[in-house]
């Protein structure tokens, strides 16, 4: 009797959340499998047929898919590395117990809270070739006007800059939180042993920060992998297809060209690849998190 009531209670408590999440994750994913095995194009609803694995074969031969994969990483890797280095650097520089730090935290958290679409608009104004403030600053140091969004590589760089502006604060805040929770005893011991500042940083601070840096890396990686909003507003994937990331390419196949079957197949490839990549990263970075090993004496 008791267990039956307990089960009922659990069902009432956990059931609704589970149902809603099922309906928006597993159900569409199953439906997506069915779609990817057909050749359904919304512009041609009567030509809908079962075509087996054709869409996946097509994807493997699609140069634009490879291009989009490369583009995604060309934007992702520099953004991630610079955000981590800059974020950890700023956090180390500013780690002190002071009233200034609290005000600083309130200021620096603002960029990451601004609606991504608005971030795109805001930078579009600043990147404008003739009247943008960035080119004005450049002209002050004697540089000519730059067409920020007109050339393939420059457009990628512009997107990287925006992401660095918006997401470095995330790394700073997480690392600051980690720094302020490190045990003071370890530092005392280091001082007693006569460690220099650099040695303290290298053998005490950074190894102990490792789990928190892993968390920051993982969250940045996940959101960079699927970033869409700012690209949509700022470049729309252009010029040409220079900033067309995987999310952008799937969006165009599914909602501009209306090829929903092909978009589903692409989604699956994207999904599996990102799951494999992130689980490997989790194993790589988070494994030795709980031990105070020899301080990374490799």
Partner 1 sequence: MSNGKRDTRTAAGRARLMRSIGYLLAIGLVSLVFLFPIYWMLATSLKSRVQTFTLPPVWLFKPTLEHYVQVITERQLFRYMLNSLSVVVSATLVAVLLGTMAAFGFVRLKFRGSKDLAFWMLSTKMLPPIAVAVPLFLMFRQLRLLDTRVGLIWIYAAQALPLAVWLMKGFLSDIPIELEKAAMVDGCSTLGVLRRIVIPLALPGMVATALFCFITLWNEFLFALVLTGTEAKTLPVMAAGIRTRRREIWGEVGALGTCIALPVLAFAVLIQDYLVRGMTFGTVKR
Single out the residue of 195, 214, 215, 194 nearest to residue 204, CA to CA. 195
**Nearest-angstrom CA–CA distance, 220 and 171:** 8
What's the closest the beta carbon of residue 216 comes to partner 1, in angstroms? 8
Closest CA to 260 of 5, 48, 75: 48
CB proximity list for 245: less than 8 A, separation 6 or greater: 68, 71, 72, 75, 227, 228, 231, 237
Residues of span 19-58 touching partner 1 by CB under 8 A: 20-21, 23-25, 27-29, 31-32, 35
Choose among 176, 173, 149, 160: nearest CA to 238.
Answer: 149
Closer to partner 1 by Cβ: residue 17 or 297: 17
Among 60, 125, 188, 276, binds partner 1 (CB under 8 A): 125
Residue 209: what are its φ and ψ, rounded to 5°? Answer: -80, -10
Question: Which of positions 133-152 make contact with partner 1 (CB under 8 A)?
Answer: 133, 136
Nearer CB in complex with partner 1: 74/247: 247
Site for partner 1 in 256-275 (CB under 8 A): 260, 263-264, 267-268, 270-271, 274-275
User: In the chain, what is the greatest distance between 2 CA atoms, to the nearest angstrom?
Assistant: 83
Rounded distance, CA 66 to CA 160, Å? Answer: 20
Closer CB to partner 1, residue 20 or residue 53? 20
Least distance between partner 1 and beta carbon 190 (Å) = 20
Q: Which is nearer to partner 1, 74 or 264 (CB)?
A: 264
Residues of span 184-223 touching partner 1 by CB under 8 A? 212, 215, 219, 222
Q: Which of 10, 188, 256, 284 binds partner 1 (CB under 8 A)?
A: 10
Interaction of residue 122 with partner 1, rule CB under 8 A: yes
CA distances from 249 to 31, 50, 211 (A): 20, 24, 34
Under the binding rule (CB under 8 A), the answer on residue 233 touching partner 1 is yes
- 297 binds partner 1, rule: CB under 8 A: no
Is the Cβ of residue 66 or residue 255 nearer to partner 1 in the bound state? 255
E strand or H helix at 179, and its extent? helix 152-180
DSSP assignment string, 97-126: -SHHHHHHHHHHTHHHHS-HHHHHHHHHHH
Enumerate residues 96-115 that contact partner 1 by CB under 8 A: 96, 98, 100-101, 103-115
Judged by CB under 8 A, the chain residues 157 through 186 that form the site for partner 1 are 165, 168-170, 173-174, 177-178, 180-181
Q: Residues 55, 59, 64, 65: is their CA dihedral positive or negative?
A: positive
- Site membership for partner 1, residue 120 (CB under 8 A): yes
Joined tokens for residue 66: 């490879």
Q: Is 281 in the site for partner 1 (CB under 8 A)?
A: no
Question: What residues between 56 and 95 interact with partner 1 by CB under 8 A?
Answer: 90, 93-94
């Amino acid at each position: 009797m008791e267990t039956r009531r307990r089960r009922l209670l659990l069902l009432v408590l956990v059931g609704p959340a589970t149902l809603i999440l099922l309906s928006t994750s597993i159900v569409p994913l199953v439906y997506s499998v069915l779609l990817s095995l057909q050749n359904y194009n919304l512009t041609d609803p009567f030509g809908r047929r079962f075509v087996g694995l054709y869409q996946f074969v097509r994807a493997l031969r699609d140069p634009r898919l490879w291009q989009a994969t490369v583009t995604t990483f060309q934007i992702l890797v520099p953004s991630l590395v610079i955000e981590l280095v800059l974020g950890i650097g700023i956090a180390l520089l500013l780690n002190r117990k002071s009233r200034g730090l609290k005000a600083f935290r309130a200021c620096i958290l603002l960029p990451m809270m601004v609606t991504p679409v608005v971030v795109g608009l805001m930078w579009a104004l600043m990147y404008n070739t003739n009247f943008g403030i960035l080119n004005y600053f450049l002209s002050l140091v004697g540089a000519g006007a730059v067409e920020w969004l007109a050339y393939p590589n420059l457009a990628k760089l512009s997107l990287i800059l925006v992401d660095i502006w918006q997401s470095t604060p995330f790394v700073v805040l997480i690392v600051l939180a980690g720094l302020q929770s490190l045990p003071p005893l370890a530092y005392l011991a280091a001082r007693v042993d006569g460690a220099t500042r650099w040695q303290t940083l290298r053998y005490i601070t950074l190894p102990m920060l490792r789990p928190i840096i892993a968390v920051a890396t993982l969250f940045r990686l996940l959101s960079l992998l699927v970033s869409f909003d700012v690209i949509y507003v700022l470049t729309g994937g252009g010029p040409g297809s220079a900033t067309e990331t995987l999310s952008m390419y799937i969006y165009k196949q599914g909602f501009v060209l209306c090829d929903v079957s092909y978009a589903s197949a692409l989604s699956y490839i994207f999904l599996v690849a990102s799951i494999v990549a992130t689980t490997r990263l989790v194993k790589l970075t988070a494994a030795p998190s709980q031990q105070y090993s020899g301080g990374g004496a490799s």
